[in-house]
């Protein structure tokens, strides 16, 4: 039986990450893998959840700068990976993550090359060669994203960005997934049950090839 894998789900807002994480957890359980936990970024520790609230909040007359936003994401990430993810993987558990470092490249990195360079430095300084074993990218158009999130009663600071921003974020994601191995693109425009079927098929294939 395969041990301790770190699987991450990435995508723009409303792409279905949260539901996909729960789905992956159930698939693994059905496969006989019982020691599975799920986490989200930013968040999943008391401190990182506080940081999540801060990054989502709109401060009047005090615009959060992109460097600050990036550092807050990395503070939350470091806390989560060091205090939960790595210890659980060491125990042999599986961890399913709702977002990881691709989110920083896609959201903060889209602003400039120099931000991307800073991300690479932070990433190698704090995580070295530590990477997810598999990343699912849930691919949806920014139009679908907007349509899904508009159903919400209120939007957070990042969700208040316009469609251009989410188009750029999606393009950054596509560049990343095409550059890295162990990434699987899922057509998340489809109906939920079809998306979940595609994830299941691809996850089974990945597990079988790994064994």
Which residues lie near ligand T5A (CB under 6 A)?
A: 11, 13-19, 40-42, 73, 98-99, 103-104, 107-108, 148-149, 158-159, 188, 191-192, 195
- The CB-of-88 to ligand T5A minimum distance in angstroms stands at 19
Nearer to ligand T5A, 41 or 93 (CB): 41
DSSP 110: G
* Closest C-alpha among 38, 131, 170 to residue 93: 38
Secondary structure in 3-state letters for 49-91: HHHHHHHHCCCCCCCCCHHHHHHHHHHHHHHHHHHHHHHHHHC
- The CB-of-120 to ligand T5A minimum distance in angstroms stands at 14
Which stretches within 97-141 are classed as H helix? 101-103, 113-127
Nearer to ligand T5A, 34 or 151 (CB): 151
Nearer to ligand T5A, 3 or 175 (CB): 175
- The CB-of-74 to ligand T5A minimum distance in angstroms stands at 8
Nearer to ligand T5A, 35 or 157 (CB): 157
Nearer to ligand T5A, 35 or 185 (CB): 185
- The CB-of-78 to ligand T5A minimum distance in angstroms stands at 12
Whether the upstream peptide bond of residue 23 has omega within 30° of 0, thus cis, is no
Distances (CA, A) of 137 to 119, 181, 189, 205: 20, 12, 12, 16
- The CB-of-91 to ligand T5A minimum distance in angstroms stands at 24
């Amino acid at each position: 039986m395969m041990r301790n894998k770190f699987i991450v789900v990435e995508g723009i807002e409303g792409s279905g990450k949260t539901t996909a994480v729960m789905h992956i957890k159930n698939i693994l359980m059905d496969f006989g893998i019982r020691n599975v936990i799920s986490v989200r970024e930013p968040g999943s520790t008391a401190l990182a959840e506080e940081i999540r609230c801060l990054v989502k909040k709109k401060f009047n007359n005090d615009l959060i700068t992109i460097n600050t936003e990036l550092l807050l994401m990395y503070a939350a990430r470091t806390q989560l990976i060091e205090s939960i993810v790595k210890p659980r993987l060491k125990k042999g558990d599986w961890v399913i993550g709702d977002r990881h470092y691709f989110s920083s490249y896609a959201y903060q990195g889209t602003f400039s090359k120099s931000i991307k360079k800073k991300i690479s430095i932070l990433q190698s300084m704090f995580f070295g060669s530590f990477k997810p074993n598999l990343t699912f990218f849930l691919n949806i158009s920014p139009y679908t994203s907007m349509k899904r999130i508009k159903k919400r009663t209120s939007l957070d600071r990042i969700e208040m960005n316009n469609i251009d921003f989410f188009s750029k974020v999606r393009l950054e994601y596509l560049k990343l997934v095409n550059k890295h191995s162990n990434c699987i693109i899922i057509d998340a425009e489809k109906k939920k049950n079809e998306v979940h079927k595609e994830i299941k098929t691809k996850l089974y294939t990945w597990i079988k090839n790994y064994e």
